[in-house]
Structure 1
């Protein structure tokens, strides 16, 4: 049924070649560093699905550049805090005792979409070590971007987001809105406006599975759409279509700096 709806909404099928054309028209080119957030269904019907999208991105960027995607696994977290769905309290201890440790090679993503889940399995894609907030990267700077991903303060200065910032990379929102723009979390750290809490995940430490506690901020993506709209009023961004998907393409550094300033100003006024 979902497939039929996609077909009905699609004037002509998307292909690897048509996606390459759309990406280039949007401004993507060989050798850039780009963090991609995506929704496959937003494109309409695509021949080859997520594989064609990933291959098209690689065709355009090439190994001279770098493609990064968030490969998050939010379920590798404290089950006491789960709410979508919650589990019975009587299950908590069993989950903590038996849940497999995060493994970048095999741990699936959660709620990230088909493009991301396929990307993490592609040859030469490296994945960072954070149990809930990992990133996958392919290309020239993949190792530099994903290595040394800090367990604490997972999207801060010792994260792939900060390395993309240092390398003056881009963000591509492919059929998704600013609420998916993970880079704004880096702004949250830099604005020092968010509260800190203790989190827990199963990881491998010194060759053994441990249930590890660590510090991080309490993220708040509810503000991101508003920040994004204000960002567009003050900065030029490239917009266009990939198939049916509305896309936005912009410099990550400009977005992070703007959001940091916005959060600082609005935290003072709140």
Structure 2
């Protein structure tokens, strides 16, 4: 059996990415001890990371230190957010869907491996909203994780991240993954925002209960942006306003955003246009 990275032996310029290299790279992009840091990771963009996603978590913890906190957007891999649009013969299968349990229900796979790894890391806590759930690990995790009706709003995890002067790191992840933009959408003073209503099963002490939810429609679009990637476009407004610092780790481009500056830039752009 070939070892990881064996296919790269003939590339004389390639070097495996290490824990120390990641920690130094994110520090050079503005991440420091005590930071409250939301993270989006595209592991494949980094190249071969020795130790995989576990190494990424450890390196980021090295960067923020014992007083720092890491945050990830988890969602729910089995979320029935779209079920109302499915054929009825498919919908009936969800009658037996196990209820959402923050301690057990897995993160969305299309968010990459980082949210699930952070969610399952010893000491991590997770918010209870079945569609818009976040995991946090570290000194200020309890201040970030909220059980609120509007998880994208001022008292949701992203609102609290912004209030605490937090940052967002895109570690090899593209600008279109800057979930913080949805918080800016939620607080922007404009009319005509789109919301999505849905039902979700949640685990309770008395068994699974189906509940009704309505949240900002971040999937189909909160506003008629008429662009291929609404979040990517909004993130570029934050970059243009100077809210982001660019860096590099291994083969990957990285971005560090000041949450307050980014939210302000995106909110103002939305309010000017809508």
**TM-score normalised by L of structure 1:** 0.88
What per-residue deviation string (whole Å, max 9, x for no partner) do you get for residues 162-191 of structure 1?
110110100101112221111110111112
Is 2:173 aligned against 1:170?
no
Task: Give the match's secondary structure for 1:227.
Answer: helix
The structural deviation recorded for 1:49 is: 0.5
Moved more, 12-21 or 46-55: 12-21
Aligned to 1:24: 27
Q: Mapping of 1:60-71 within 5 angstroms?
A: 60-71=63-74
Task: Give the match's secondary structure for 2:203.
Answer: strand
Moved more, 215-224 or 163-172: 215-224
Aligned to 1:209: 208
The structural deviation recorded for 1:231 is: 2.4
Which of these residues, 50, 53, 65, is aligned with residue 56 of structure 2? Answer: 53
The structural deviation recorded for 1:115 is: 2.0
The structural deviation recorded for 1:213 is: 0.9
Q: Is the 8 A contact 1:149 1:160 kept in 2?
A: no
Task: Give the match's secondary structure for 1:264.
Answer: helix
Query: 1:231 and 1:81 mapped to 2: Cα distance?
Result: 34
Q: Mapping of 1:1-270 within 5 angstroms?
A: 7=8, 11-73=14-76, 75-78=78-81, 80-81=83-84, 88-95=87-94, 97-110=95-108, 111-146=110-145, 148-150=146-148, 152-191=149-188, 192-193=190-191, 194-205=193-204, 207-219=206-218, 220=221, 222-267=229-274
Q: Is the 8 A contact 2:158 2:183 kept in 1?
A: yes
Q: Is the 8 A contact 2:81 2:131 kept in 1?
A: no
Query: 1:36 and 1:58 mapped to 2: Cα distance?
Result: 11
Q: Is the 8 A contact 2:238 2:244 kept in 1?
A: no
Query: 1:6 and 1:232 mapped to 2: Cα distance?
Result: 36
The structural deviation recorded for 1:6 is: 7.9
The structural deviation recorded for 1:225 is: 1.7
Query: 2:107 and 2:196 mapped to 1: Cα distance?
Result: 23
Q: Is the 8 A contact 1:200 1:214 kept in 2?
A: yes
Q: Is the 8 A contact 2:243 2:261 kept in 1?
A: no
What per-residue deviation string (whole Å, max 9, x for no partner) do you get for residues 28-52 of structure 1?
1111111101111110011000000
Runs of 4+ in 1 over 3 A off after TM superposition: 3-10
Query: 1:218 and 1:117 mapped to 2: Cα distance?
Result: 23
Q: Is the 8 A contact 2:201 2:209 kept in 1?
A: yes
Q: Is the 8 A contact 1:6 1:44 kept in 2?
A: no
What per-residue deviation string (whole Å, max 9, x for no partner) do you get for residues 97-143 of structure 1?
21011111111111111122211111111111111111110111101
What per-residue deviation string (whole Å, max 9, x for no partner) do you get for residues 140-170 of structure 1?
1101101x332x3331123100110110100
Query: 1:47 and 1:232 mapped to 2: Cα distance?
Result: 31
Q: Is the 8 A contact 2:29 2:247 kept in 1?
A: yes
Q: Is the 8 A contact 1:79 1:92 kept in 2?
A: no
* Greater helix fraction, Structure 1 or Structure 2: 1
The structural deviation recorded for 1:224 is: 2.1
The structural deviation recorded for 1:242 is: 1.1
Q: Is the 8 A contact 1:36 1:173 kept in 2?
A: yes
**TM-score normalised by L of structure 2:** 0.87
Residue-pair matches, total = 259
